Amino acid sequence: MSIFFGFEPTSQGQFLYNFNHLILVFFVIGALLLLFFGLYAKSDKGIRITKIVMASMMALFEGGRYIFLMVYYSRFYGSFDWVGRIPFSMCGIMSITTIFVLYVSAFRKTNGRYMQIFYNILFGCALWGGILTFASPQMLNEGFAIIHFRNVQTIFIHIMLIFVPIYLIKIGELQVRFINFWIIAIGYLSIGIISMTGSQISSGNFANALYIDMLIDWNINIPFPWHLPPMFLAMHLLPAICYSVFEIIYRKKNPQPTESLTKTSSSTGLNTAQFSRAQWLILGCGFIMSFVLHLFISSLLGPTPEASWLGLLCLIPLGILAGSIWFVHKNTQKGEHMPYQHTV
């Protein structure tokens, strides 16, 4: 038990681009395959129980991580920065979001438009965040054994970030269509805003909100906060490729003419295709306004902040973004409450 929960550091070796890294990757792939074929419940009750169990396991590990850090820092450093230990990183935010989505969808009779937005964010942000993390597993704490709770928790959470969106596709609750790719931009902007908020109120650097370590190592200096737009665009590359592949597969399975390509479902898809030009304009303006305001407020607070609750000002763009989405969906055609229709 001392190896699993102990506080004394135990060397475990390196896990970056070596044989240990390869073993870890194969383990993750094996775990994903085991989950994919092992969780085979098809009834509504079985799916609901599966979601609750997955969410509860993730919540248990996340809560355990926080308790461990609280005891560890209180014991060895005499104090605990509870704000700085809140998971404001990209994967931390997606972990909390995944838990929330699993619980809510488990207790809802139908998964409407807002759940579909969250589902797409999990696929476009959480899944790829998990994959990139294992591609460069610097998240592992090399001061503890690989079987220590901190590392087991990290590995488990990131596996779940990859698996949950795949599971939602498997059970037919998420259909990946390129027409919904705009949601990924909403997701990454929201993550950036929350990460910046956490960085400003805790003096941390969550999700490279204040600077990008890799660029500093390469002696590339991009003034703050102008490193954010290129990083934002770069994060869309892999999801864009994946959405394109899914769209090609969908169109090959549904070779109808473009004007009549319609998909009706009460549990998958959004009525994005039914948005009017005015609604797209409102959504676009809300997004641009949020992004610009995000950069403006960040530049005012600066790249080397002292811990201050003024960082909560960074949440203002998130309110504008959420408000524009709510307004657009609230004013969608009345037919929106019928089964969703995709007309591409």
Which structural domain range is residue 121 located in?
1-174
Name which of 79-88, 142-151, 259-268, 317-326 the model is least confident about.
259-268
Q: Are strands 340-343 and 262-265 parallel, antiparallel or unpaired?
A: antiparallel
Task: Say whether both 182 and 312 belong to one domain.
Answer: yes
pLDDT score recorded for residue 341: 35
Res 71: pLDDT = 85
Give CA–CA dist 48/298, Å, rounded.
Answer: 41
- What is the per-residue pLDDT for 271? 60
* Model confidence pLDDT, tens digit, residues 272-300: 666 788 889 999 999 999 999 999 999 99
Over residues 101-108, the mean pLDDT reads: 94
Among candidate residues 118, 103, 102, 254, the one with its CA nearest the CA of residue 180? 118
pLDDT in tens, 136-155: 766 776 667 788 888 899 99
Highest-scoring range by mean pLDDT, 81-95, 124-138, 312-326, 327-341? 312-326
Do 225 and 168 lie in one domain? The reply is no
Residue 259 has pLDDT above 80, yes or no: no
Residues 6+ apart with CB under 8 A from 66: 85
CA 8 to chain centre: 32
Same domain for 316 and 232:
yes
State whether 101 and 162 are in the same domain.
Answer: yes
Looking at the fold, whether 164 and 218 belong to one and the same domain comes out as: no
Question: What tokens were used for 131?
Answer: 């994959």
Compare 248 and 16 and report the one with higher pLDDT: 248
- Is 151 in the same domain as 232? no
Among 23-37, 205-219, 238-252, 265-279, which is the least confidently predicted range? Answer: 265-279
Same domain, 167 and 227: no
| pTM, 2 dp | 0.88
CB distance 119 to 102 below 8 Å: no
144 or 21, higher pLDDT: 21
Contacts for 319-326 with beta carbons within 8 Å, 24 or more apart? Answer: 320/286, 320/289, 320/290, 320/293, 321/186, 321/189, 321/190, 321/193, 321/286, 321/287, 321/290, 323/286, 324/282, 324/283, 324/285, 324/286, 324/287, 324/290, 325/117, 325/186, 325/283, 325/286
Q: Report pLDDT for 255.
A: 79
Cβ–Cβ under 8 Å, residues 16 and 137: yes
Model confidence over 156-181: pLDDT tens digits? 999 999 999 999 999 999 999 999 99
Domain shared by 57 and 127, yes or no: yes
Query: Rounded to an integer, what distance in angstroms lies between the CA atom of residue 293 and that of residue 291?
Result: 5
Domain boundary among 174, 193, 216: 174
pLDDT at residue 201 is higher than 60: yes
Predicted confidence band of residue 343 (pLDDT cuts 50, 70, 90): very low
Strands (E), the chain: 262-265, 340-343
Hey, what amino acid is at 223?
P
Ranges 56-60, 100-104, 137-141, 259-263: which has the least confidence: 259-263
Asked if 168 and 180 sit in the same domain, the reply is no
The pLDDT tens digits of the residues spanning 28-47 come to 999 999 999 999 888 999 99
State the Cα–Cα distance between residues 109 and 303, nearest whole angstrom.
45
pLDDT value at 63 more than 90: yes
On whether both 101 and 212 belong to a single domain, the answer is no
How sure is the predictor about 318, in pLDDT bands with cuts at 50, 70 and 90?
very high
Structure confidence at residue 137 (pLDDT): 64
Q: Alpha helices of 39-89 — where are they, by DSSP H?
A: 44-76
| 160 and 204 belong to one structural domain | no
Name 248's Cβ contacts closer than 8 Å, sequence gap at least 6. Answer: none
Q: Would you state the pLDDT for residue 214?
A: 78
Where residue 9 falls among pLDDT bands split at 50, 70, 90? low
Domain boundary among 174, 189, 221: 174
Residue 217 has pLDDT above 80, yes or no: no
Q: How many domains does the chain have?
A: 2
Q: For residue 10, is pLDDT > 90?
A: no
Average pLDDT, the chain: 85
In the chain, pLDDT over 70 holds for what percent of residues? Answer: 84
Which of 135, 158, 174 is the endpoint of a domain? 174
Per-residue confidence (pLDDT) for residue 260, from 0 to 100: 44
User: Quick one: 189 and 337 in the same domain?
Assistant: yes
